[in-house]
Amino acid sequence: MSRLFPPLPPLSFPPFLASLTTLPSLTTLPRLPSVEQCIQAFDRSLRVLATEARASRPYPADACPPDTHPADPQLAATHPAGRHSANPATANSDAADAPPAAPHPAGLPSADRLRGRDPAGLMRVNHTGEVCAQALYQGQALFARSANTRALLLHAAQEEWDHLGWCQQRLRELDSRPSLLNPLWYAGSFALGMASAMAGDRWNMAFLVETERQVERHLAGHLERLPDSDVRSRAIVAAMATEEAEHADAALAHGAAHLPGPARAIMRGSARLMTATSYWI
């Protein structure tokens, strides 16, 4: 019979899946969070979604000049002159000095918006990204195996909280709003953070590294797409990109594993869906 039916090779799984399919011993079970930690995580979710994030560090755009009027006549038609003025007292005089805007069909998006270069849309995407970051870090920290890993995640989450506040402030300056889908993205990101933490600290850090590397590329793309005249948005994005790289480096130094290609591809697909929807909705 062995000649007719040769023995099947043993099943093998990628390292990340193997860590999920192997029955853990009592010493490797995920650490269950305390009631206090669960309450803190719930409180943070409410503050992210329902309140204004107040940054503890200076606003990067404070060192930049006030907003100028859009150069694109179509964009100027949808954003009346003086709308972005940092000083309300000068808004009327700015409007009087501004050249007349070319007519723009009512209800149609501007040319910059259709090209994916609208500052408000791009900053809304960045704001949603920071909402997701808060959810990821909270889910990862809640089930982290070691106290050191949890401390690293909570420190990064605090810096990302400043990013969230900066994006909120910039959206107000642009007379825009956050994405309506933020609660949905928060819930999904929190679940992903929990899943990565349950696989162990090395995979928890691997997920963090890949997340931050993808955010770095995402922010670099925004710097290319933002108009050169929008120095305030560019200053915020540049400051955020620097710290995202630092978070990835810290996770690598903490012993992050190498996330398999399929997992990275799924993360990229999710990120594309998030950016495409939050730009418009």
Residue 276 is which amino acid?
Answer: A
Give dist(CA 79, CA 62) in Å, integer: 22
Spacing of C-alpha 35 from chain mean position? 27
Cβ burial 157-192 (10 Å sphere, 16+ → b, else e):
bebbbbbbbbbbbbbebbebebbeebeebbeebbeb
Q: Which residue from 190, 59, 70 is spatially nearest to 131, judged by alpha carbons?
A: 190
Predicted pLDDT of residue 11: 54
Contact status, residue 162 vs residue 236, Cβ threshold 8 Å: no
* Contact indicator for 118, 174 with CB cutoff of 8 Å: no
d(CA 27, CA 251) in angstroms, rounded, equals: 23
The hierarchical CATH code for the domain 33-50+111-280 is 1.20.1260.10
Measured CA distances, 125 to 8, 27, 84, 95 (Å): 49, 41, 19, 29
Residue bearing tokens 């889910």: 139
Please tell me the predicted confidence (pLDDT) of residue 114: 46
Give CA–CA dist 204/140, Å, rounded: 7
**What backbone phi and psi angles, to 5 degrees, belong to 143?**
-115, 15
DSSP-derived secondary structure for 203-219: HHHHHHHHHHHHHHHHH
CA dihedral of 124, 127, 128, 131, whole degrees rounded to 10? -160
Residue 44 neighbours by CB distance under 10 Å? 17
Tell me if the pTM is above 0.75. Answer: no
pLDDT values of the chain reduced to their tens digit, one per residue, 281 residues: 555 556 656 555 555 555 544 434 434 556 677 787 788 778 777 788 888 888 889 999 988 888 865 444 444 444 433 344 444 444 444 444 444 443 443 343 454 554 446 888 899 999 999 999 899 888 888 888 888 888 899 888 888 899 999 999 999 999 999 999 999 999 988 998 888 888 888 888 888 888 888 888 889 889 988 988 899 999 999 999 988 888 888 888 888 888 888 888 888 888 888 888 888 88
Both tokens of residue 149?
């890993």
Three-state DSSP state, 74: helix
Q: Determine the pLDDT at residue 183.
A: 93
Amino acid at 238: A
- Sign of the alpha-carbon torsion through 212, 217, 218, 222: positive
Q: What is the pLDDT of residue 98?
A: 43
Output the pLDDT for position 73: 42
Q: What is the DSSP string of 158-200?
A: HHHHHHHHHHHHHHHHTT----TTHHHHHHHHHHHHHHHHHT-
